[in-house]
Structure 1
Amino acid sequence: MDLDQWISKVKDGQHLSEDELQLLCEYVKEILIEESNVQPVNSPVTVCGDIHGQFHDLMKLFQTGGHVPETNYIFMVYGFYDECQRKYGNANAWRYCTDVFDYLTLSAIIDGTVLCVHGGLSPDVRTIDQIRLVDRNCEIPHEGPFCDLMWSDPEDIETWAVSPRGAGWLFGSRVTTEVWSAPNYCYRCGNVASILSFNDNMEREVKFFTETEENNQMRGPRSGVPYFL
């Protein structure tokens, strides 16, 4: 397995063969299974939300925030079925990757002070230790604390409200702001993207970027993509 060669191949705009992708996914799972549900991360680090398989925008994200391995990243990434279908012509690549997702850590905590999750909070989670006890090596359930951490959203409300997603909750009590890391979200929303960088002193900087020309040329699906595939 030549990881450097694969990285160069991807950076050149090519995608890995199905066999190469399968090997890579198996390798990544061996690493992820050793990580905690609440993975400790040291600053400096840059936090990114969903990128939904938008590869060219990922490259622009790295141009904006700094390239790996010189810059450390936390990604909250999930769901890119359409992108896999477009590149490979079948769902095999998507299945390999979603198998890896079952091994991903649930959250990260930066310097013991900043908690990072894909979605948000849960009425069933009062402490970080409760997150550490969740059995994560499975598909995301449709309810409960694991589900809530993935699918809840901040909202300008007092307490909890039913989420229009059909999973997770809307949560509030204070005004919160959602930070996205996918410009022109799902190739049709036209939004600007941003990432959140923390330096050695935990000082924060929001960095913005717009879609790439390759993203702009992509056509969104004719019908809405469901949250759960």
Structure 2
Amino acid sequence: MADIGYLDVENIVSRLLEVRGKKFGTEVQLEEREILGLCHASREIFLGQPMLLELEAPVRICGDIHGQYNDLLRLFEMVDESDKKDEFDKGFPPAYNYLFLGDYVDRGKNSLETICLLLGYKILYPENFFLLRGNHETSSINRVYGFFDECKRRYSVKLWKTFTDCFNCLPVAATIEDKIFCCHGGLSPDLVSMENIKKLPRPTDVPDTGLLCDLLWADPDKDTKCWGNNDRGVSFKFGHEIVTNFLRQNDFDLICRAHQVVEDGYEFFAKRQLVTVFSAPNYCGEFDNAGAMMSVNDQLMCHFHVLKPVKKKLKYTYSTRTLNEPMEKRIQNLQNSTIYGRTQTAQEGPQQSGNAKQRIKEKQENQKKADVTNSEQKNKEKKKQRQHNVTKNQERALEDKQKLNEDSIKKNINKEKRKEDRDQKNHSTKQNSDQKKRNSK
């Protein structure tokens, strides 16, 4: 299965793994025909497997990756505690079975390396390595949020279109031992039984409403009892009653999904009946979240491997539209992204959840307080400067007035003195004249 015509998949995977230990963001420049081959070969495998995967334990479950290739490699390097004594090549396939819940591309710097490695493993180990579709594996989303631009910059638009054809064939849900239900987003009012998922057609784009849309877009919400309007503007949010009823009706024990940033990499909901797994630590270089992977053993016992966020923040790729915006606007868009090409009110995921959302809110409030404090300080300084300027001008005016008064006094003194001199002179002249008159007599 490794060699499909000209396609040497083992060699491609080996080259993709050569960046282990190298600088974050290092690119692996495969030939375009090799990537096209990965898309075509994996597409046929996806179509040969059902829309609803029925998997066996043990299996490792990973959430959103979003082009953070180095963090994907960190996930593969993790080994279960019970296996550390064995000669495992760390956690890389086929040492463990894997199920990924979608959102492989966009946001991160290395979407191409990420999806190529995952497709390569799917071709090499089709019965041990599984990929579900996320809301970013749709053309309307990854056309805007980075993947299209990365394909165009490094290869061609044709390659992006080939990926779109491949993504349109991905399965959208999985069950593990008929006890754990897995999807990218969440539940749907149209999901009555597993037969509804099995009957979804492929290849297909994701519509704006309906079962397929909800499986990729819906969110759990602690303030919602049943169904509610999703803040994203697309699909629904659902409450704990919906989760409980779904599990009871379908004889499941747990729902495992991704789609939302959670502070610790995983977060439970509805009395541990649902868990959100997010595998991209330090998401977008702007969040302090951890990443996580859920490991399910033979007895369906679950434990979590946690990736702490690294201190070094990556530079991420954005669409041309986003790059033309100022940095503050870009960061705001990361938190409240608007879909173009779907609906004007829809917000693209993943959203923040639980503690992560609270931390972001507190951070924003602290920033607002800091901005207010800085503004007040600046206003005080400006007021103080104005008062100083007024005082200085008043002093200068007073000095000018005093000087003017002194000049006026001096002028009057001089005038009086000249008058006295003139009077004295006239008096002397008169005396002399009178003396002459007396002498002449």
Aligned to 1:55: 69
- How far 1:210 moved relative to its partner? 2.4
1:193 aligns with 2:207: no
Aligned to 2:277: 179
Residues 200 and 10 of structure 1: CA distance in aligned 2, closer, same or farther (over 3 Å): same
1:68 aligns with 2:93: yes
Task: Tell me how far apart the structure 2 counterparts of residues 211 and 226 of structure 1 sit (CA, whole Å).
Answer: 26
Q: Residue 48 of structure 2: which of 27, 34, 37 is its match?
A: 34
- How far 1:129 moved relative to its partner? 1.2
Task: Tell me how far apart the structure 2 counterparts of residues 38 and 170 of structure 1 sit (CA, whole Å).
Answer: 22
Residues 86 and 29 of structure 1: CA distance in aligned 2, closer, same or farther (over 3 Å): closer
- How far 1:92 moved relative to its partner? 4.5
SS at match of 2:149: helix
- How far 1:98 moved relative to its partner? 2.6
Task: Tell me how far apart the structure 1 counterparts of residues 63 and 340 of structure 2 sit (CA, whole Å).
Answer: 18
Q: Residue 85 of structure 1: which of 139, 145, 149 is its match?
A: 149
- How far 1:97 moved relative to its partner? 2.4
Task: Tell me how far apart the structure 1 counterparts of residues 157 and 304 of structure 2 sit (CA, whole Å).
Answer: 35
Percent identity between the two aligned chains? 30
Count of equivalent residues: 228
1:21 aligns with 2:85: no
Does the Cα contact within 8 Å between 1:106 and 1:136 map onto a contact in 2? no
Does the Cα contact within 8 Å between 1:183 and 1:211 map onto a contact in 2? yes
Structure 2: tracts of 5 or more residues without a match: 1-6, 20-27, 80-90, 107-141, 242-269, 319-329, 342-441
Task: Tell me how far apart the structure 1 counterparts of residues 279 and 206 of structure 2 sit (CA, whole Å).
Answer: 22
Residues 218 and 108 of structure 1: CA distance in aligned 2, closer, same or farther (over 3 Å): same
After the TM superposition, which of the residue ranges 25-34 and 169-178 deviates more from structure 2? 169-178
Aligned to 1:142: 208
Aligned to 1:170: 237
Aligned to 2:197: 131
Which of structures 1 and 2 has the bigger CA Rg? Answer: 2
Q: Residue 307 of structure 2: which of 209, 219, 223 is its match?
A: 209
Task: Tell me how far apart the structure 2 counterparts of residues 119 and 199 of structure 1 sit (CA, whole Å).
Answer: 24
SS at match of 1:109: strand
Aligned to 1:154: 220
SS at match of 2:276: coil
Task: Tell me how far apart the structure 2 counterparts of residues 52 and 85 of structure 1 sit (CA, whole Å).
Answer: 14
After the TM superposition, which of the residue ranges 62-71 and 42-51 deviates more from structure 2? 62-71
Per-residue CA deviations over 1:164-193 (Å, capped at 9, x if unaligned) read 222221111252542211112233223111
- How far 1:158 moved relative to its partner? 0.8
Q: Residue 12 of structure 2: which of 6, 23, 26 is its match?
A: 6
Per-residue CA deviations over 1:28-50 (Å, capped at 9, x if unaligned) read 00100011111111111011111
- How far 1:88 moved relative to its partner? 5.9
- The TM-score with structure 1 as length reference comes to 0.90
Letter in 2 for 1:199: N
Per-residue CA deviations over 1:40-96 (Å, capped at 9, x if unaligned) read 111110111111121111101111352111111111123424256347615544433
Task: Tell me how far apart the structure 2 counterparts of residues 94 and 166 of structure 1 sit (CA, whole Å).
Answer: 26
Task: Tell me how far apart the structure 2 counterparts of residues 41 and 141 of structure 1 sit (CA, whole Å).
Answer: 27
Task: Tell me how far apart the structure 1 counterparts of residues 164 and 16 of structure 2 sit (CA, whole Å).
Answer: 19
Higher relative contact order (CA 8 A, sep 6+): 1
